[in-house]
Structure 1
Amino acid sequence: MRESLSLLLIEDDVSLNEELGIFLSDFFDTIDSCGSAEEAYAKYLTSSYDLVITDIQLPNQNGLSLVEKIKKKNPSQMVIVISAYKEVDYFLKSIDLGIYSFLTKPFDSQLLINTMIKATNQLRNQKSKPDSSLVYLHEGVSFDMKTKALHVNEMQQELTTKEELLLYILVKNANTFVRNEQLAQTIWQSDEVNNSTLRALVKRLRDKLGYDECIINLKNRGYKLTAHLS
């Protein structure tokens, strides 16, 4: 059975967006289309995508700024950048951001087809291999130790930097207690953190994990993440 693939497409030209959507539906099972960087990033924060394709010239926010935010959130995200401009600085900036490919408009149809075949084959090969960085904590709940992405029922949860650090160290030591001092040192680089500050951080993370007794506290022992690891 063929691995299903999802795409986030960002293009503010409505007619081109529709044309690309029709063309790319031969390669992707799910396509979310957006006309702005703001709308696209809002979707990215609540969903996961195998590939992101974005134009550079977008209203309000440059497409490369969007790519930068996405790469900061998920460094391994595959991204293809499209542009009507052939300036070297755009190309070099795209390279710096670690994009998969840079395509210029008007498109060379054969190059576009070849790029999609190559990209989707690579994505399916990756999906067919077990991802050792992905940890399943509970039914419908997973955490990627590499990208620090938390998904609950296929929806990516927005985590603050401190929430990411807390979840990372708890997952790394899953089903064993981690002392408050160790958590404070990892998250705040200090041994002296008010217990109420730590409790508030834990509560926010509990709410995002969403399953019963996901994080347990025991006086004088610290906090423990309960997980059914797989």
Structure 2
Amino acid sequence: MENVVNQLITWSKDLKVLYVEDDPALREEISLFLNDIFKQVDVASNGEEGLLKLAQNRYHLVITDIRMPIIDGVEMIEKIKELYPQQPILVTSAHNESEYLVKLINLGVNNFITKPLQSDQILNVLHSIVEKIHKEQLLDQYKQDLEIANEKLKKFAHMQSKSLDMKTSLLRAYKEALDKATIVSITNKDGIITDVNENFCKSTGYSRDEIVGQSYKVITHPSTNPALYDEIWKALLARKTWQGLIISQTRTLEPLYHYKTIVPIFDSQGNIMEYISIIQDITEIYKKQEEKSKENINLAINIKEDELLKNIPFCSALLSDDLTFLNYNKLFEELVNNHTDERLLTKLTQQSLHLKELVDFEEMDFFTSIEDIKNNWPYDGDITFKGIVKSIGHMLEVLVKISQYAPNRYMICIVKQEDFELCCQVQER
């Protein structure tokens, strides 16, 4: 944790933060905490005040509550994304605000902290966000450096030299200077690779001998829209430099995210002789963004599942395909806690408890997965059968119902036989 804090403080020394919270005590407490980390922390008591401050200042990060007077957090975020699409946002959310999370994720918000706020939790999330901001700043600086280098390269490329050999020599010298910092490749005017640097080989997994003489199609990722290459060739044939993001692939078919600049090289008569590509590999940044998005989607799903299970008035849980329990309500936890096998509660909390360990089935043979049940039981969308739960002091006769809740997730409800019969008697009356 000490290393995380030190990194966070180092990266945040020049960053400005806007904190929007309607609770005065919490706003005061957290703003004092943030002031120890960031260069400047401004506060607002509602969404309207937050939008006014955003119109007057540029903030590297906005931290906001959801439920606030005048303009709430969701409405404020919708306006922010409309005006400042790239603005990083961190949402503080209570468990009873889960209905807003999916909407916020759809708006592009990927960072959440649940209340009550804990210092370790805040530090870890802030470290993740500020690390991304830091890398984006480095990338922006790198792009600026590349643009300067590209301008110099274009000047070299358009120089009217008395000797083609002299121009080629100048370009080669400039390419060698770029080799240390970037991925470089050269193609002829037909798009066939004629030279690559060592960084190119490290990134793609191809040796120089394997890649020279090949078309660029050999490293084209299948997800790349062919129209993009039409756009590139149109620009190059018009004697223009092209810049943009291209998804390539390694020799082992792994995706590579490359920010590429392609510059036409001219001979002494002004004809296109070849093309040089200067590439920045931003694959790791994309991977971290995807991992963070998945984490936040899973958080939203888990909160929704907790609310659903909480509202079911009998023992309920969610199962995976292999019949291990993933999530459950309080009544289900009590059922497991009262089982004669004391180890089951520990296995439940570790998500390793299997259905057959909890219930002995009267009508079913041994099975280990949903497919086993479907193959041995009349299946019409739901599965219902009788079983026995070995509870402390007595045996519970139960009815077990399993139905599909989502892809690879199943809802299970366990009802005591005596409760089921009592319910039937009441309905008959």
**TM-score range for the pair, normalised by the shorter chain length:** 0.5 to 0.7
Which residue is equivalent to 1:112? 122
Q: What is the letter of the counterpart of residue 51 of structure 2?
A: Y
1:60-75 aligned at under 5 Å gives the runs: 60-75=70-85
**In 2, Cα distance between the equivalents of 1:91 and 1:108?**
20
Corresponding residue number in structure 2 for 1:41: 51
Q: Is the 8 A contact 1:27 1:116 kept in 2?
A: no
Residue 78 of structure 2 corresponds to residue 78 of structure 1: no
Which residue in 2 is equivalent to 1:122? 132
Corresponding residue number in structure 2 for 1:27: 37
SS state at 2:96 partner: coil
AA in 1 matched with 2:69: P
- SS of 1:27's equivalent in the other structure is coil
Alignment of 1:56-205 (within 5 A): 56-130=66-140
Q: Separation in 1 of the partners of 2:95 and 2:78?
A: 19
- C-alpha deviation, 1:119, in angstroms: 1.2
Check whether the contact 2:66–2:93 (CA below 8 A) recurs between aligned residues.
yes
Secondary structure, aligned partner of 1:7: strand
CA distance in 2, matches of 1:113, 1:31: 16
After TM superposition, the runs of 4+ consecutive aligned structure 1 residues lying more than 2 A away are 83-88, 128-133
Task: Specify the SS of the correspondent of 1:90.
Answer: helix
For residues 18-39 of structure 1, the C-alpha deviation after alignment (integer angstroms, 9 at most, x for no partner) is 1111111232111110101111
SS at match of 1:129: helix
Separation of aligned partners in 1, 2:78 and 2:29: 26
Residues 113 and 125 in structure 2, CA contact (< 8 A), matched pair in contact too: no
Question: Do the aligned partners of 2:20 and 2:50 also contact (CA within 8 Å) in 1?
Answer: yes
Q: Secondary structure at the match of 1:15?
A: helix
| Residues 1:8 and 2:18 are matched in the alignment | yes
Aligned residue-pair number = 133
Would the aligned equivalents of 2:46 and 2:72 in 1 still touch at CA under 8 Å?
A: no
Amino acid at match of 1:93: K
Is contact 1:68–1:97 with CA below 8 Å preserved after alignment? yes
Structure 2 equivalent of residue 190 of structure 1: none
The residue aligned with 2:250 is none
Preserved contact between residue 86 and residue 104 of structure 1 (Cα < 8 Å): no
Whether the aligned pair in 2 keeps the contact of 1:80 and 1:99 (CA below 8 Å) is yes
Distance in 1, Cα, partners of 2:79 & 2:112: 18
Deviation at 1:4, TM superposition (A): 0.7
How many percent of aligned residue pairs carry the same amino acid? 35
Deviation string, structure 1 residues 101-135 (Cα, Å, up to 9, x no partner): 111211233221100111112212222332659xx
Structure 1 pair 58–87 and aligned structure 2 pair: CA distance change class (3 A): closer
- Contact kept, 8 Å, 2:90 with 2:111, in 1: the verdict is yes
TM-score (norm 1): 0.54
CA distance in 1, matches of 2:139, 2:14: 14
- Specify the code of the residue in structure 2 equivalent to 1:74: Y
1: distance between equivalents of 2:80 and 2:92?
Answer: 16
Letter of the 2:111 partner, please give it. S
| Aligned twin of 1:53 | 63
Relative to structure 2, which stretch is displaced further, 88-97 or 8-17? 88-97
Normalising by structure 2, report the TM-score. Answer: 0.30
- Structure number with the bigger relative contact order (C-alpha 8 A, sep ≥ 6) is 1
- Cα distance change on mapping 1:125 and 1:27 into 2, 3 Å: farther
Which string of whole-angstrom CA distances, capped at 9 and with x for unpartnered residues, describes residues 196-224 of structure 1? xxxxxxxxxxxxxxxxxxxxxxxxxxxxx
Q: Which of the pair is proportionally richer in strand?
A: 2
